[in-house]
Structure 1
Amino acid sequence: MSIPPLSPDQTRLLQDGYQAQVRGLLDDAARQYRKILKKVPDHPDVMHLLAMVRSRQHRTDEAIALYRAAAVLKPQDAKLWYNLGLAYTSVERNGEGADAFARALALDPSLPEGVGMLFSARRSVCDWRDDARLLAAIARAADPAQPEIPPFFTLWQDDPALQLAAARRTVRRRCAGIVPKPLPARDRADGRVRIGYLSADFRNHPTTHLLVRLLEVHDRSKFEITAFSIGPNDASPARKRVEASVDRFIDCERDQPAETAERARRLGIDILVDVMGHTNGNRMEIFAGRAAPVQVSYLGYPGTSGADFMDYVIADPFVLPLDDARFFSEKVVHLPDTYQPNDPTLAIAARPSRAECGLPDSGFVFCAFNNARKLDPATFALWMRLLAQVPDSMLWLLAGEEARANLRREAEAAGIVPDRLVFAPHRPLPEHLARMALADLFLDTFPYTAHTTASDALRVGLPLVTRTGRSFASKVAGRLMQLSGLGDLVTDSAEAYETLALSLARDKDRLAAIRTRLEEGTARTRLFDIQRYRAQIEAAYLAMMERAMAGAAPDHMAVAPSPAEGSGA
């Protein structure tokens, strides 16, 4: 189908709209595109551009309608199908997103990031068609002859060298040509260190649930805390709590990266902390422009940024031993307990009954509440073997409707009655935490293990079986369990994991003793002692600043263990 030509005036409107779009002036861009479409309503390229604007404005239903209409007129446009996939997956319509990504890749197999997005969408609904092929493509992410893969998806390969290479490749492309600007002279009127935390997830999000109590308890005699929000405002209690927890909250969602970097420089931020890494919505370009004297990777991404402009990564000796520092572009800062903060004040609702959660009154409940995207065919097959060997057992999962249908089909193919899978609907966090305690044993995924979810389980006294590997992402649950006195439930192979889980399910007395140890033991208090954690991370920040002020280059450092001041809350 031929594309209708634009008049000179319409071409000028298109150019003006595109320039406004690039500068982030989305309302202006949309206005120009709509003027054109009033005269030429069947122009797929203009519809495509307007759809991109509507996506950025979070008007996703309108964006999807525009993409679909444009695809009818221009079905061979791979980028159009790819952007339709992005719109679908942004509102958890992952099955439709996967179909759009597959269509895009069929038209253009070299499409950058296409393989990663197809992998993610398929995994999100537990559609494991071509899973091995997609994983193999991700394993080639460092090959410049292959399409680029978003670094985030290399976390499903237990290969820190691959994760570094993929991250470096993405950073080189995205940040090419960005020249760091000189930093202004620091006004040290009150002598406090100015910390900025930058995130797109200051909302109802697992990372915010981990971080917010730390923001509240930072020592204000030594630190001034600013939050830079580069993501949407969901108006949730979590968002409002972050806004109230900091000295200054700045909404930068509509900023261009250079504008946010300039805000940080004008405020004299000493240490700018990236809570995103290569997760969705990140703006690595802010740091490429050198927004602060010290720039730190922290919490949101269990891997390296691959960027030479990030000075430090905050970790602990278990998840990132110094022997593995060669796989990180940053210098490693070890906190003595764990890199992960936790909020001891999170509310937990009254515990429901099993019946209220769709569980039978008796029988063994295996729980697997990780994001469905972390689940792979081999792990699910292992879980089905456990169900087959433990009579009257069931597997309790979190999954959307499409994933549920796929998992039931996989269970039946493995010889397991699909009704032995019980699916938990999404609930507010206090209710979710309360119901987790009803399970008997949490089964972890690999190589991307439970992170916030592991803390949630330990918080309510639910033991886990986990497996560790070589990568940061594979070790997080293991470290949290060590701190909680459950190091004996950390395995290092699929065989050991399966043997241990089966043994615990068959030995109720042993499992009850472990649960009692977890619920009554004092070891777990270290995981939720936010004052102890605060003292440790603040010592790290002060050490970073001391080096920077002395003109010394960043270097590896370790914070010495020390008791916290004050209470655990």
Structure 2
Amino acid sequence: MASVLLQQGHNEEALVHFEHAVRLRPDNACWQVDLGHLYRLFGHIDRAEACFLAAIRLSPTFPIAWSNMACILKDKGNVPEAIRHYRRAIELDPACVAAHSNLGNVLKDSGQLKDAAAEYEAALKLGGDNAVILANLAATQLELGMLEPSLATFDRALALQPDFPDALSNRGNAYKLLGRTEDAVRSYEAALRSDPDHPDALNNLANTYRDMGRAREAEDMYRHAIRVRPHFAGAHSNLGNLLKEQHKMHEALAEYQLAISYDPTFTNAYSNMGNTLKDLGRFPEAVAAYLKAIELQPSFADAYANLASVYKDSGRVEEAIATYRQALSMKEAAGLPTDPIAWCNLVHTLQTVCDWRDRDAIFQRTWELIHEQMARHEVPAVQPHHALAYPFSAAKQLEIAQHYAQAPLRNVLSLGLHPYEYDPVALAKRLSLARGRRLRLGYVSSDFGNHPLAHLMQHVFLWHDRSEFEVFCMATSPSDGSQWRMAVQTGVEHFVDASALSHGDLAALIHDQEIDILVNLNGYTKGSRNDVFALQPAPVQIMYMGFPGSSGATYHQYFVTDRIASPPELAHLFTERLAYMPHCYFVNDHAQSYADAVGRLAEPDDATVNAIRARYGLPPRPTVVYCMFNQLYKIAPDVFDVWMAILKAVPDSVLWLLTFPESGKANIVNEAVRRGVDASRLVFSPVANKHEHISRGRAADLFLDTTQCNAHTTATDILWAGTPLITCPGETLASRVASSIVAALDCPELIAASLDDYQERAIAFGQDVAALRRLQAKVQGNRTTTPLFNTRKWVHDFDRLLRGMAADHRARILGESVPDVVEIEAERFGDETVTLAPPAAPPTAPMPVGVQSYVMPAAPPLAPATAVPVAAAAAAGGALQPAGVVPTPTALAPMYGIGSVDPFAAPSFAAR
């Protein structure tokens, strides 16, 4: 009776009868197996296990008992024992189709794909074509990379069962990997016609929509999959990835946490959560997430690569190098292609510590990898900011930037967002300088805080002519509580904490406030929000300061530079129109912020210099101290050759460098010794706070600039200290900035025509101390009489250039003829003399390291301000703060990272 009820599907009645039968005849192995099967069906796993064990004790050669016990062991996660029991069942009955098939499932789930495929094939050979077994074999072939055979096997399964949603969904994965995206979509849609709530098909179609740039539809699909299967860890993680791409970082974190709560062994969720935590600057938590992913899956190469990036960004350079290499070796051992992101991050990390072994071959391979990526229309793995210091031509650097610039456009279009458009006639009227309304000028930056950009520009934001400009500063990072953040936040007319806004919401806020000119102060540096600029929320968008090179984008109309940094003959290396400042484009704030650091510009005597030198382990005068205070990654072997030749030609000299980073010191020393220079000729000092950094620069005699990527901020620091800097311009803006800086100081003798000329000049000054002292006196005197450190004059000229760009853009949209570049002529501003800020009062409490106390000069009188409605920002999720309102300080150090993509869902289907 029990067997008949089971065959008829009356499982509950069958269970009652089998329990009664087993109580009467507990020594019947067959009844024990059938009862165990029903217990497992109703979720009573422990009772089922007891029945199967009893059956094995009663009949040790009963294959079905061994096979069913294997199912229990698999349910409990004891994979090795499950495999052993399935193999014992097959040993007892080699023709058992179910045992072969289910063994295949366990082997597949544990990553033993080739063995799994063999078991599925054995089951098919024994039992003939079966849709479920064929679908599992096809899914295994898919994971093995056997794309065409996988597709053929899926077709065999679907010939037997055309409406099999699992097979249709996974066949879509095969199509997708073959590049047949439209076929993939059709296959997923067929699966959903068969089962509209099939969670794997919904998830897979969402993945495909996301790759196609259809982000809104992808998000709908992920959320549908989650409604159907609330504990679907893969869909939660994939949704998290999509939200992260939209800069909805905390929402993304919530999805990863849900994924992990539903599947604590989900390695990709841990890795993706680590990426988001890293981008939020929460490094210890990111490290913990990556280490958990690696603990769960020791062969997870992407997690190793992501972990290496956190190590790199948090200064653990040697660990980063070792971990990148481990990730790459794992890929190679698995027969997989080189991961371009891991490779390029390793190359950059080696560059930071001056590890030049096999350098030419490494950079050749780097270019090959990114060239292949660009040929596939992918974002290159080399960040444009890193490429500036690589031995790539200016044309190659522009090509990298142009491909980078496409990603923000694709991202916003995928969200269903479109760039704002402007009616030419209305815009021309809006940009008219005589319309009686101030131009609205917006700055977007993640660096309104203790960052070189704010150190250089804090007074620029405050000193615009407020009768002509209404200034908005939009901070894309939370307050770090520093004096620089407070100075900008309390000094400008409108300050917006936009750190929590999505790209679309920030663009909408900018557009709604009718910003006329929007300045991108990040470019491709950390914390950039180029997706906002891709939406063209302002009619005139400008690249300035943060990134010394073209954005490669069509959505930036102008690039602020000067004729020395970017001469007209190099305009083809920019996608933007060049807008020339009359002197150096690179602004600084030293006269306002660092007069005290250099003794109120008093020329240091020998006693002062020697006291500073003694503090840093440097020999006293008359020994010549050459210095280079850039980060070590800017040093290239060719310029290092020149430096060592200089030291040899000037025996009583040393080269003063920074341990920037510490782990690069040994490599630099070894390179010097290889070139015949004693290690004692190199003196290293740690990185110091800004005030100390500038002050100690007075102890050096001559700064030797790097040539591939010049000193920028560091150049203004050392010249403000009164120490000359010698440079040699190249083709790129990054290699010409220092020439522009020293030219604005009226010291053309510091610009060399070639590396040979550079070497000869540095040696000549080192061998003629009197000439060196005259040069130092000139630099020191010119600090107050030339444009370089005259910030007020610079802001006055920038205001004129901003008006010039507005007029140029207006003329162009009206079809009027315009010059090739936007340029303003030099003009006098006041008496042209640099005015120092008053001496700083002694701090009443210890200042944090790296923070200097100073008295801020008074800003020009305020014009009546048009307040930004607070409700407008609140509606978009932002915080608009009037002057004087200081939020609670929080820390954020946005970093770039790499992401791992969840694999397609390709589940096994258990055969009963």
**Residue 804 of structure 2 aligns with which residue?**
543
Partners in 1 of 2:513 and 2:375 — Cα distance? 43
Partners in 2 of 1:543 and 1:153 — Cα distance? 32
Partners in 2 of 1:8 and 1:530 — Cα distance? 59
Counterpart check, 1:430 vs 2:676: no
**Residue 359 of structure 1 aligns with which residue?**
618
Q: Give the counterpart of 1:182 among 421, 429, 450.
A: 421
**Deviating more after overlay: 100-109 vs 477-486:** 100-109
Q: After superposition, where does 1:388-407 map in structure 2 within 5 Å?
A: 388-399=648-659, 400-407=661-668
Q: Give the counterpart of 1:258 among 482, 488, 504.
A: 504
**Deviating more after overlay: 116-125 vs 68-77:** 68-77
**Deviating more after overlay: 484-493 vs 128-137:** 128-137
Question: Match of 1:450, as an amino acid?
Answer: A
Checking the alignment, whether the CA contact within 8 Å between 1:101 and 1:114 is kept in structure 2 is yes
Pairwise CA distance, 1:138: 5.1
Question: Structure 1's 523 and 34: CA in aligned 2 closer, same or farther, altered over 3 A?
Answer: closer
Query: What are the ranges of 5 or more consecutive residues in structure 2 without an aligned counterpart?
Result: 1-108, 112-199, 201-225, 600-607, 836-912
Q: Deviations over 1:69-99 (max 9, x none)?
A: 3134334444323322322222222332233
Partners in 1 of 2:735 and 2:244 — Cα distance? 40
Question: Match of 1:556, as an amino acid?
Answer: V
Q: Give the counterpart of 2:264 among 41, 46, 60.
A: 41
Checking the alignment, whether the CA contact within 8 Å between 2:540 and 2:809 is kept in structure 1 is yes
SS for the counterpart of 2:454 is helix
Checking the alignment, whether the CA contact within 8 Å between 1:484 and 1:523 is kept in structure 2 is no
Counterpart check, 1:485 vs 2:752: no
**Residue 346 of structure 2 aligns with which residue?**
118
Q: Deviations over 1:94-119 (max 9, x none)?
A: 33223333344442655344443222
Counterpart check, 1:237 vs 2:503: no
**Residue 722 of structure 2 aligns with which residue?**
461
Pairwise CA distance, 1:305: 0.6
Partners in 1 of 2:702 and 2:541 — Cα distance? 40
Q: After superposition, where does 1:143-154 map in structure 2 within 5 Å?
A: 144-145=374-375, 148-154=381-387
Question: Match of 2:506, as an amino acid?
Answer: T
Q: After superposition, where does 1:318-333 map in structure 2 within 5 Å?
A: 318-333=564-579
Partners in 2 of 1:297 and 1:38 — Cα distance? 44
Question: Structure 1's 505 and 439: CA in aligned 2 closer, same or farther, altered over 3 A?
Answer: same
Question: Match of 1:473, as an amino acid?
Answer: A
Checking the alignment, whether the CA contact within 8 Å between 2:720 and 2:783 is kept in structure 1 is no
Tell me which structure has the larger Cα radius of gyration.
Answer: 2
Q: Deviations over 1:151-204 (max 9, x none)?
A: 223323463222221111121234226331235988899711111111122222
SS for the counterpart of 2:405 is helix
**Deviating more after overlay: 172-181 vs 42-51:** 172-181
Superposed CA RMSD in Å reads 2.9
SS for the counterpart of 1:345 is helix
**Deviating more after overlay: 435-444 vs 243-252:** 243-252
Question: Match of 2:721, as an amino acid?
Answer: V
Checking the alignment, whether the CA contact within 8 Å between 1:105 and 1:114 is kept in structure 2 is yes
Partners in 2 of 1:9 and 1:522 — Cα distance? 66
**Deviating more after overlay: 171-180 vs 444-453:** 171-180
Partners in 2 of 1:137 and 1:243 — Cα distance? 46
SS for the counterpart of 1:488 is helix
**Residue 87 of structure 1 aligns with which residue?**
310
**Residue 278 of structure 2 aligns with which residue?**
55
Question: Match of 1:370, as an amino acid?
Answer: N
Question: Match of 1:455, as an amino acid?
Answer: T
Q: Give the counterpart of 1:313 among 546, 551, 559.
A: 559
Partners in 1 of 2:757 and 2:704 — Cα distance? 13
Q: Deviations over 1:283-307 (max 9, x none)?
A: 2211111110100011111111111
**Residue 160 of structure 1 aligns with which residue?**
394
Counterpart check, 1:511 vs 2:772: yes
**Residue 375 of structure 1 aligns with which residue?**
635
**Deviating more after overlay: 356-365 vs 266-275:** 356-365
Partners in 2 of 1:112 and 1:565 — Cα distance? 54
Pairwise CA distance, 1:274: 0.7
Greater per-residue strand proportion:
1
Partners in 1 of 2:523 and 2:238 — Cα distance? 33
**Residue 222 of structure 1 aligns with which residue?**
468
Partners in 2 of 1:466 and 1:232 — Cα distance? 37
SS for the counterpart of 2:447 is coil
Question: Structure 1's 24 and 518: CA in aligned 2 closer, same or farther, altered over 3 A?
Answer: closer
**Deviating more after overlay: 166-175 vs 212-221:** 166-175
Partners in 1 of 2:245 and 2:383 — Cα distance? 22
Counterpart check, 1:561 vs 2:826: yes
Checking the alignment, whether the CA contact within 8 Å between 1:164 and 1:328 is kept in structure 2 is yes
Partners in 1 of 2:244 and 2:628 — Cα distance? 43
- When normalised by structure 1's length, the TM-score is 0.92
Partners in 2 of 1:512 and 1:23 — Cα distance? 56
**Deviating more after overlay: 352-361 vs 217-226:** 352-361
SS for the counterpart of 2:231 is helix
Checking the alignment, whether the CA contact within 8 Å between 1:319 and 1:472 is kept in structure 2 is yes
**Residue 267 of structure 1 aligns with which residue?**
513
Partners in 1 of 2:240 and 2:561 — Cα distance? 44
The percentage of counterpart residues that share the same residue type is 30
Q: Give the counterpart of 1:9 among 205, 228, 231.
A: 231
- When normalised by structure 2's length, the TM-score is 0.59
Q: Give the counterpart of 1:247 among 465, 474, 493.
A: 493
**Residue 410 of structure 1 aligns with which residue?**
671
Pairwise CA distance, 1:280: 2.4
Checking the alignment, whether the CA contact within 8 Å between 1:485 and 1:524 is kept in structure 2 is no
Partners in 2 of 1:491 and 1:62 — Cα distance? 48
Q: Deviations over 1:119-153 (max 9, x none)?
A: 22112122223322333345555563485432223
Question: Structure 1's 173 and 76: CA in aligned 2 closer, same or farther, altered over 3 A?
Answer: farther
Q: Deviations over 1:506-552 (max 9, x none)?
A: 11011111111111247853111122211211111112222444534
Partners in 1 of 2:784 and 2:743 — Cα distance? 9
Counterpart check, 1:282 vs 2:508: no
**Residue 528 of structure 1 aligns with which residue?**
789
Checking the alignment, whether the CA contact within 8 Å between 2:274 and 2:287 is kept in structure 1 is yes
Question: Match of 1:391, as an amino acid?
Answer: P
Question: Structure 1's 142 and 326: CA in aligned 2 closer, same or farther, altered over 3 A?
Answer: farther
Question: Match of 1:237, as an amino acid?
Answer: Q
Query: What are the ranges of 5 or more consecutive residues in structure 1 without an aligned counterpart?
Result: none
Pairwise CA distance, 1:462: 0.3
SS for the counterpart of 1:280 is coil
**Residue 501 of structure 1 aligns with which residue?**
762
Partners in 1 of 2:245 and 2:708 — Cα distance? 38
Question: Structure 1's 174 and 131: CA in aligned 2 closer, same or farther, altered over 3 A?
Answer: farther
Checking the alignment, whether the CA contact within 8 Å between 2:247 and 2:503 is kept in structure 1 is no
**Residue 700 of structure 2 aligns with which residue?**
439
Pairwise CA distance, 1:488: 1.2
Question: Structure 1's 149 and 35: CA in aligned 2 closer, same or farther, altered over 3 A?
Answer: closer
Partners in 1 of 2:230 and 2:263 — Cα distance? 13
SS for the counterpart of 2:325 is helix
**Residue 346 of structure 1 aligns with which residue?**
593
Checking the alignment, whether the CA contact within 8 Å between 1:142 and 1:162 is kept in structure 2 is no
SS for the counterpart of 1:195 is strand
SS for the counterpart of 1:396 is strand
SS for the counterpart of 1:431 is helix
**Residue 173 of structure 1 aligns with which residue?**
407
Q: Deviations over 1:201-225 (max 9, x none)?
A: 2222222222112112111111111
How many residues of Structure 1 are paired with residues of Structure 2 in the alignment?
569
**Residue 199 of structure 1 aligns with which residue?**
445
Question: Match of 2:567, as an amino acid?
Answer: P
SS for the counterpart of 1:545 is helix
Q: Deviations over 1:435-480 (max 9, x none)?
A: 0010011011011011111111111110111111111111111121
Question: Structure 1's 99 and 543: CA in aligned 2 closer, same or farther, altered over 3 A?
Answer: same
Partners in 2 of 1:23 and 1:175 — Cα distance? 12
